[in-house]
Amino acid sequence: MIKNDKFGIIGGLSAAFYTLGCRVNQYETQAMEEQFRNAGYEIKSFDDECDVYVINTCTVTAESDRKSRQIIRRTAKVKKPSSVVAVCGCYSQGKPSDIAEIDGVDLIIGNHGKTDICRLATEYLKEKKERLLVTDIMEADTYEEAKITSSDRTRAFVKIVDGCENKCTYCIIPSVRGKIRSRKKEDVLDEVARLAESGYKEVVLTGIETAAYGKDFGKSDSSPLAELISEVATVDGIERIRLGSMEPTVFTEEFVKEIASVGKLMPHYHLSLQSGSDSILRAMKRKYNSRQFLEVIDRLRRYIPDVQITTDIIVGFPGETDELYLQTEEFIGKARFAFIHIFPYSKREGTPASVMGGQCNKTEKKARVSTLEKRMLEIRREILDGFIGKTASVLLETKEDGFIDGYTPNYIKVKIPMDNGNEFTSGEIIDVEISDICKDNDGIICLMGRKAQ
């Protein structure tokens, strides 16, 4: 048993974590894990018997709410009587009263206060007093600092900004994440340096609205995000930098010129499109039209050699006729995305889109998803054909079924057979001779290659 002076209790306790949703949630869970570990807790699998269970929830769709409720109920039902079930994140921020009705939930925290969750859970173990501690997220004015020193992935995600001030008519996230709150540059650089010391070669700078980094800092002669990227590139040990999902409007001529000069910034950008129809983009209240989006893609391709662009598209948005859907299909032929995450529109209670007329039925949405996926994969195969016979730098990641996979600088997955006595290490960067196109375990077209001699 270990005396834990920080909380005034006896140690030897354990905690487990379950994460739903986006990469920001995954990052925040890692930061919470470190809180508990530093306090003397043993971190266990979520299926193990533990003293504390933390569930970090998502609310981006109605299905996300359902999955959050499901895991909360399942955990609350099977936990031992003396353990704590603590629920935090976007679903608990938006609907704390719904969670409070679930028997067995002990702590409810929203999206502000996660940095205090270890103290709160530890106090509950002593006091056994249920607490609903969800504050008004719109009153949060500063970034809530949380840190990680390691990651369960080969590349480490580094959160740089919280909040979202876009008012997209289909999205609930601004109401559960609050205003833009950027992290101090010094804190980002400190975390990146610690990750580099832990052996990470690649970091992904991410946030709820990554492109908004520094928007709350006030006027500046240059882009705070471009400055941050440039300084992250000076950290010893970091060889690759990526950005999370980005709004296309940030990619002005000046910004693209600035980032194009950063050699460690990888030539891959995930730009949120959502629709190729100007009519639908207006209904969504996106901040650009299809012409402006194509101009951004052209700008990136002019300044950054070998750049690849990926995106998200929602089909079946209210009012999307067959004709408007075909505009999206035509658009992706012009844009030539390397990959598209395609989602059927999901009605989200509390958003303007949920009460719009012209709601598409499930059959229409399913058919459009299928057709668009086929067209996307045709384009992806054409793009990947251009890699065959070339050599690519690959960061190795996961070993499975006799292969190790990794990603090129422009974020194309490559599978490499572990034969001929080759020894591979996750986290290593090697040159690979691309020989063919294959499919990964999820059925997505990717590349095949061997270590260059």
Q: Are strands 9-10 and 3-4 parallel, antiparallel or unpaired?
A: antiparallel
Domains of the chain (ranges; CATH) run 3-135 (3.40.50.12160), 142-266 (3.30.750.210), 270-385 (3.30.750.200), 391-451 (2.40.50.110)
* 290-303 vs 322-335: helix crossing angle, rounded to 10: 10
* Res 4: pLDDT: 46
* Res 169: pLDDT: 97
- Residue 53: φ, ψ to 5°: -115, 125
Contacts of 326 (CB under 8 A, 6+ apart): none
In angstroms, the Cα distances linking 453 to 387, 389, 390, 415, 442 are 18, 14, 13, 17, 30
DSSP SS3 for 341: strand
Helix (H) or strand (E) holding 448: strand 445-451
Q: Are 242 and 266 in contact (CB under 8 A)?
A: yes
What CA–CA distance (Å, rounded) separates 73 from 103?
8
The strand pairing partners of 376, in sequence order, are none
Q: Are 96 and 110 in contact (CB under 8 A)?
A: yes
Q: Which residues in the chain show pLDDT less than 70?
A: 1-11, 152, 420-422
* Res 420: pLDDT: 65
Task: Considering only the C-alpha atoms of the chain, give the largest distance between any 2 of them, rounded to a whole number of Å.
Answer: 68
* Res 153: pLDDT: 73
DSSP SS3 for 274: strand
* 290-303 vs 253-260: helix crossing angle, rounded to 10: 30
* Res 421: pLDDT: 61
- Helix, strand, coil shares of the chain, percent, nearest 5, are 35, 25, 40
* Res 401: pLDDT: 84
* Res 290: pLDDT: 98
In tens, the pLDDT along 74-131 reads 998 888 788 999 999 999 999 999 999 999 899 999 999 899 999 999 998 888 777 8
* Res 405: pLDDT: 93
* Res 7: pLDDT: 47
